[in-house]
Amino acid sequence: MREYKRLARRDLDEYGGAIMNTNPVSEWTVSHFPLYTLESIESLYSTTNQPGYRIKENAAVLIVVAGGSAVLTCRDQRYELMKGSAVLLPAHEEAELAANHLNPLHAYKLTIHTLEQIRSFPEEVLIQKSGISSNAQIHFFSYESEIAALAEKLYRHRMPEGEVRHVQNQILFHQLLLILLERMDAKPVADEQSSMERSITYLENNFHEKITREQLAQIAGVSSSHYSILFKQLTGCSPTEYLFRLRVHRAKELLLDRHSTLREIAQKVGYKDEFYLSRRFKQQTGETPSSYNGKSIQRVAVLLAPYAAHLTLLGLEPAVIISETSEYVQSADLKPLQTAVYVNTGCTVEQINSVLDVNGIEVVFAADMHMRHLGLSPERLRLSAPIVHIPWMEIGWKEQFRLLAHYIQRSDQAEQWLADFEQEEESARILVQQSKFANEVIMLLIIKPEEIRVYGARNAGYVMYRSLGLRPPVRIAQEIDKHGEQFHSIGIQLSDLEDYEADRILVIVFPDELGSTAHSERVFASLGWKNHRAVQGGGVHHLVMDEWIPYNPVSIRLQLERAVVLWTGNQ
């Protein structure tokens, strides 16, 4: 990252010379700001041998938490850090970062310098100070997923192999700075921010430890009696009730996993033994932990529609679907959803919690990656219901189906459906392998407004390559062999098309936000497209996005039927 500094100095020399030789003065020089450089970026991991870090740099330091939790102490103030938290420390500031040994810390430390002007400017030029490096206050941000994502990308590409990656790093760095400056302008400094929110966040992230009202009041900076009043005003319940709900809901998550004993679960959620857990559990739910199981679950919520299809096939219609759209695949396999409540993913955590509470949700099925992407805090949602993680990219749709069935104790039903489907797959494969397309190479090309991708073994790729055994391009086959259904797709340039030789191209065009597909014309007009073997041989098939992109059992079965018609002509 030191190359930022060298490049910035060169640009500054050229910029300064241009100012001195230009008359009149450009509008860009009337208000001149220094240039930012990323002096270094480090990855911090806490271990038993190194549970903490001392921080003191000659430049501003940004700490971004990628995982785990820790306490940052600075100027006699304590800041509870969790995944997504960020703290901006002024230059020369001394701070102590102490990790939670039960939740090891992973953080990125960015040292940010500024280059002040090194040449003289005309008198009319106003030299401005840096909003980041000249600031003497501490800025704490409890959750900034965008900043965390950008920091991770910067660290991953911290040693660019070429100038293109180097420029991309510069763009990422300045995107991070832009968000940081916007947040600093939009909110008060750390000492003035909501101390009650900090204490609630601490409670949500440390509920498994011994926590007292006095401890939370100290974090909030108020008296114990006043804290209880403020807490109820903000949350609608007492700190004790809030804590009990978090612990019981986490206990339910562990009980559904069925991998821990009651004693182990009790200790994991903050109770000394299984007897104390049982007492609190029954007090909150009316049943004992030993009697709690997936069969009793009737009202569930899902984050994103694919899991709704899985559950509905198993005979359990979700009561709440948190999704970007209320669209749902309809087929003869499923009855239309009659009572599901749709909540837009753009709603706040508080709004979603309110819907979950009103609808009596007993469990929420969601993927961590979706929650992170949408900026939803599982710690905050856990107040309303247990959050059960169903991996998305890590496993395929069959494994997701089995996992959901396991949690609601309907595994026999899932296995029967899968057995029937696998017979359908076998019959379809025999038909297609007897067709003239059996030995051809098939490429799935996805054209989006912002990019072009070649698909692997998910979505339509699952049916083509897994179900029917058709041949993908060599490069795609290599990735599928290595990663299986975890290989979703790969982004390419138009100039890369010739590297993906195929006899047939299946094209799916994603419309832009206004519904236009005009951006695809650029692809179809390119030489790479026109010279492709499949295009010249007339082997191009245009597929409808809504019919081939959904990734769930119902959609996959429908795609299998459509694929047989596509390759054999059999209706």
According to CATH, the topology of domain 423-568 is Rossmann fold (3.40.50)
Q: Is 334 exposed, middle or buried (0-12, 13-18, 19+ CB in 10 A)?
A: middle
In order of 5, 38, 53, 181, 269, the CA distances from 109 in angstroms are: 17, 11, 11, 18, 31
pLDDT for 344: 85
Instruction: Write the DSSP assignment of 219-231 as a string of letters.
Output: HHTS-HHHHHHHH
Q: Domain limits of the chain?
A: 2-190, 195-292, 296-407, 423-568
pLDDT for 504: 95
The residue type of 519 is: H
The residue type of 72 is: L
* Claim: this prediction has a pTM higher than 0.85: no
Percentage of residues in the chain with pLDDT exceeding 70? 86
Could you give the dihedral angle defined by the CA atoms of residues 497, 437, 535 and 487, in that order, rounded to the nearest 10 degrees?
-20
CATH architecture designation of domain 195-292 = Orthogonal Bundle (1.10)
Say if residues 285 and 261 touch (Cβ distance below 8 Å). Answer: no
Beta strands across the sheet bearing 77-81: 52-55, 95-99, 70-74, 77-81
Mean local confidence (pLDDT), 209-233: 85
Q: How do residues 199-209 score in pLDDT, each as one tens digit? A: 888 898 888 88
The residue type of 241 is: E
Say if residues 555 and 308 touch (Cβ distance below 8 Å). Answer: no
Q: For the structural domain made of 2-190, what CATH number should be given?
A: 2.60.120.10
Which range is most confident: 9-13, 30-34, 312-316? 312-316
Instruction: Compute the distance between CA of residue 112 and CA of residue 39 in angstroms, rounded to an integer.
Output: 6
pLDDT for 109: 94
The residue type of 463 is: V
Say if residues 449 and 519 touch (Cβ distance below 8 Å). Answer: yes
Q: Is 335 exposed, middle or buried (0-12, 13-18, 19+ CB in 10 A)?
A: exposed
Instruction: Write the DSSP assignment of 313-344 as a string of letters.
Output: HTT---SEEEES-------TTSPPPSSPEEEE
Instruction: Compute the distance between CA of residue 327 and CA of residue 548 in angstroms, rounded to an integer.
Output: 15
Confidence of residue 406 (pLDDT cuts 50, 70, 90): very high
CATH 3.40.50.2300 fits 296-407, yes or no: no
Q: How do residues 420-438 score in pLDDT, each as one tens digit? A: 999 999 999 999 999 989 9
Closest-CA residue to 399 (of 547, 506, 556): 556
Do 195-292 and 423-568 show the same overall fold? no
